[in-house]
Structure 1
């Protein structure tokens, strides 16, 4: 058993500031969990508390059902891989990988066997006699992982291990880490501020802000149903468009009106949003829900083109709506779409995945939850819930938003 349970764990510094506050989370045996958030949000501090490198001010930490809150790091059987690799420059790859076992008095034959197995797993066999200076960044990261693997830990803690790599190597190492997790079947906690890593690698994402866990769930579930405007904007590039608006009744329906646009609320959401009629709201639309061509049920809006970003596989249009208080929005369009800067062009809104947020609290207004990528497919569960509101018994199998990745 290598489950990790954080039971209302907090870290309070001598200055009186909280690094982490009331984190309540269960990471299942063999699960790959991502701690995601901006710099200073508490994700690395939480990881270091799990490792025993930071003391816990209050709460309880259990690994495999055993309380380790006051257990020293060396007795937790947890392997940590740091951003800086932390390799000994004067040692070979072989010596770096086996150093920890050597210090524990492990027999030489056992060390060699473990190094050989780990090197084969990570593709390091040809480099065992090289020094770190003769390796690429990706190879050094593999050595750091190999040093962790030979220890045969119950869990791996990865603290932004890919941030020092270039874009291509990061993409390669993301895939390698996912493969490694499948082969080893061990619990992995991975800290990052990179949304792509979070969306593509983890079974669940734990989004942190100001020392708290804001939302926990499957990557696509969190993407489809963010609990507030922070999560909505943080989890994608370009982020969700957030437009100050007003929800108004119009005949038997509802319309979200902003300066220069009017978006009818789809029938599937009317009952949920009806209590907010007559109120100020924030309209949330993902860039991929704005289209260049009309389809039945789509709402037409007009934007003034501010910029066009050609990415090869797609073009990102940045446009401006409104006149009194103009707002910039982004749209993901086909790679064939072009428009001159300053032109006034139509876009068509698929409002089925729309969100409405409370301007005062920034919280999402409850509505039926959609299947990720499923357009108008409504799931039976309730809307996404913040991590703090999940019942303790449900923290391994999240509620509306915190579902284990299938």
Structure 2
């Protein structure tokens, strides 16, 4: 195993633009870290710099405490699993898994032992003589992982390895990768743009945007305490509802005033950190899962919403509606699977305001307050 450390690492292209800029990050031995972000944010570029497939313009990159800025990819003892699997179509599964070891001059008996061990770990024993064209997408993915495992690297670098799989197989492979990490105990870095992968697989997520690392932390901690509007919206499906409003005082209370007829109160426990923004514009962030069809707790606050659509997803229904009268804002709410309301009807819903976030309208940064516990 090995730690991976990036100290002010940047990648500057010939035209002067930056793919990645001033990344500071330490990945601990045996940690499973997710790089999450939209296309073009720099997550794959960062992974390729760790692998040695992309040069570093400035900064220092260390693996196991050793600077590897000028170390060739084959000498870094890391294994990369690509999105397209990169299998040799004319070779059997056995030969695909053994190829890298042969190139390093490993003896046939040792190769056979390592391939057999990896095949057993990944459930490939009965497929060793097949060629990639005769395998399913999930099986090809396992072969690509097996080829990496036989090398016994210090770290695994996974570049969107599940993106080519269908939804059901992707869910199965998420669990398989988590199990594999537990069995091997090796450092893993996984690149994805899928929020579900990020929330369910990693020990820690690193959210990237425009070549910079915006926020890192345990998935549920980042979910409960987003650093800014980008993180708040990106790390949720449906995305967080962002509502332009005014933060005002009313009857010794602090109120998020959406329009003259619509408001929600700030919980008293959050008065102190939020009062500094009173009297000015604010963006209120309310997650779809914090809006309910019934008032289970007295502190939940009623809002009236005009129904635009109801998406029936089986396990739940997602309501899309308009909040406010003067300049209605479209919001979404995740409700029970038995909820239904006709289009254009007005329904009363209830907001749990404790996990509500307030963001600075100009900067998009979250207004600082004591962090919420994970899961809120």
Asked if the contact 1:221/1:372 (under 8 Å) is kept, the reply is yes
Asked if the contact 1:268/1:368 (under 8 Å) is kept, the reply is no
Per the alignment, residue 327 of structure 2 pairs with 325
1:253 CA drift (Å):
1.6
Partner deviation per Cα, 1:76-133 (whole Å, 9 max, x = no partner): 0010000000000000000000000001110000000000000000000000000000
2-structure distance, mates of 1:217, 1:248: 32
Per the alignment, residue 244 of structure 1 pairs with 244
Asked if the contact 1:318/1:328 (under 8 Å) is kept, the reply is yes
Per the alignment, residue 190 of structure 1 pairs with 190
Pairing of 1:33-72 with structure 2 (within 5 A): 33-72=33-72
Per the alignment, residue 279 of structure 2 pairs with 278
1:279 CA drift (Å):
1.1
Per the alignment, residue 13 of structure 1 pairs with 13
Structure 2: gaps (5+ residues): none
1:323 CA drift (Å):
3.1
Partner deviation per Cα, 1:331-359 (whole Å, 9 max, x = no partner): 11111111001101111111000100001
1:326 CA drift (Å):
1.9
1:321 CA drift (Å):
1.2
Partner deviation per Cα, 1:121-148 (whole Å, 9 max, x = no partner): 0000000000000000000000000000
1-structure distance, mates of 2:74, 2:268: 58
1:311 CA drift (Å):
1.1
**What's the secondary structure of 1:244's corresponding residue?**
strand
Per the alignment, residue 220 of structure 1 pairs with 220
The yes-or-no answer on 1:292 pairing with 2:289 is no
TM-score (norm 2): 0.98
Partner deviation per Cα, 1:25-52 (whole Å, 9 max, x = no partner): 0000000000000000000000000000
Per the alignment, residue 365 of structure 2 pairs with 363
1:367 CA drift (Å):
1.2
Pairing of 1:151-170 with structure 2 (within 5 A): 151-170=151-170
The yes-or-no answer on 1:353 pairing with 2:355 is yes
TM-score (norm 1): 0.91
Per the alignment, residue 393 of structure 1 pairs with none
Per the alignment, residue 93 of structure 1 pairs with 93
Per the alignment, residue 140 of structure 1 pairs with 140
1:189 CA drift (Å):
0.3
1:312 CA drift (Å):
1.1
Asked if the contact 1:10/1:22 (under 8 Å) is kept, the reply is yes
2-structure distance, mates of 1:307, 1:368: 36
1:370 CA drift (Å):
1.3
**What's the secondary structure of 2:71's corresponding residue?**
coil
2-structure distance, mates of 1:240, 1:30: 32
2-structure distance, mates of 1:325, 1:133: 56
1:325 CA drift (Å):
2.2
The yes-or-no answer on 1:26 pairing with 2:26 is yes
2-structure distance, mates of 1:263, 1:5: 44
Asked if the contact 1:207/1:213 (under 8 Å) is kept, the reply is yes
2-structure distance, mates of 1:232, 1:220: 12
1-structure distance, mates of 2:366, 2:174: 31
**What's the secondary structure of 2:284's corresponding residue?**
strand
1:59 CA drift (Å):
0.1
**What's the secondary structure of 2:199's corresponding residue?**
helix
1:369 CA drift (Å):
1.3
Count of paired positions: 374
2-structure distance, mates of 1:127, 1:236: 38
2-structure distance, mates of 1:261, 1:227: 27
Query: What's the Cα RMSD here?
Result: 0.7
Per the alignment, residue 396 of structure 1 pairs with none
Equivalent in 346, 351, 359 of residue 344 of structure 1? 346
1-structure distance, mates of 2:56, 2:371: 36
1-structure distance, mates of 2:302, 2:328: 18
2-structure distance, mates of 1:156, 1:316: 38
**What's the secondary structure of 1:233's corresponding residue?**
helix
Pairing of 1:120-139 with structure 2 (within 5 A): 120-139=120-139
Per the alignment, residue 119 of structure 2 pairs with 119
